[in-house]
Amino acid sequence: MTEEEPEPIRRRPGGRAARVRQAVLAAAMEVLTEEGIARLSIAEVAARAGVNETTVYRRWGSREKLVLDAMLAGSDEGIPVPDTGAVRTDLAAFAHALADYLATPTGRSVARAASLSADDPDLAKAWQAFWKSRLDQAGVIVSRAVERGELPADTDAALALELLCSPLQTRSLLGHRPIEPELPQRLADLVLDGLRGRNQMH
C-alpha cells in the first residue's frame, strides 16, 4: 500500500503574501511622496511596512524593482484606460486621468522621479519600464480605434500616446504653467487631427 502524496498547500487569494505586498507598496509610495526617489531605501520601506528587509529583497530583489512595482500599482488605479466607444473621448479621458494623477502628491513624486533618474542608470531603467508598461496598456485605445476605422492601420500607438502625455508631464515637472482644465481635451484633439491629417497626406 503506497502512501498518498500530501495535497499541495492552497494559498487563499488575499492571504498574507497579498497583504505584505500591499503594505510594502504603500510604504514605498509614502517614502517616495515624502522624501523622493533618491532617498528611498529598502530599510525604511521595510520598517514602515512592518516587515523584515529580507522579505522585501526576496520578493523584489532591488530598490529599483520595488520603485517600479510601486509606481505601476499606484498608476493602475490613478490612470485607468477608458473605453468610451470613440477614440476622441478615449484620448481625452485618458489625458484627464493623467492630469488628475499628476496633480496628486503621488503623481508629482512620480514625475520628479523622471528628472532624478537621469543620474542613476538603474532608476532610469525603472522609469523607462514604468512608462513602457503604461503606454503598452493604453495602446488598446489606438488598436480599438483602428478596428472601428477611426484611425489608419499603421498608426503608431506609442508615439500617439507620447504626444498626448508629454505636455502634461512637462508642465507637472517644470511647474512653469498650470494644467488648465481644458488642456487634456485640446491635446486629444491635436493628436487626433495630426493622426488623421497624416493619413490624408498619403
pLDDT tens, residue by residue, 25-70: 999 989 988 887 778 899 999 999 999 999 999 999 988 889 888 8
The Cα 172–Cα 113 span in angstroms is 12
Q: Which of 112, 89, 92 has the alpha carbon at shortest distance from 102? A: 112
SS3 177: coil
Looking at domain 16-67, what is its CATH homologous superfamily? Answer: Homeodomain-like (1.10.10.60)
**Is 192's pLDDT higher than 80?**
yes
Q: What residue segments make up the domains of the chain, in order of their start?
A: 16-67, 72-201
HEC-encoded secondary structure of 98-118: HHHHHCCHHHHHHHHHHHHHH
Please name the CATH architecture into which domain 72-201 falls.
Orthogonal Bundle (1.10)
Question: What was the pLDDT predicted at 7?
Answer: 44
**Is 11's pLDDT higher than 90?**
no
The Cα 67–Cα 54 span in angstroms is 16
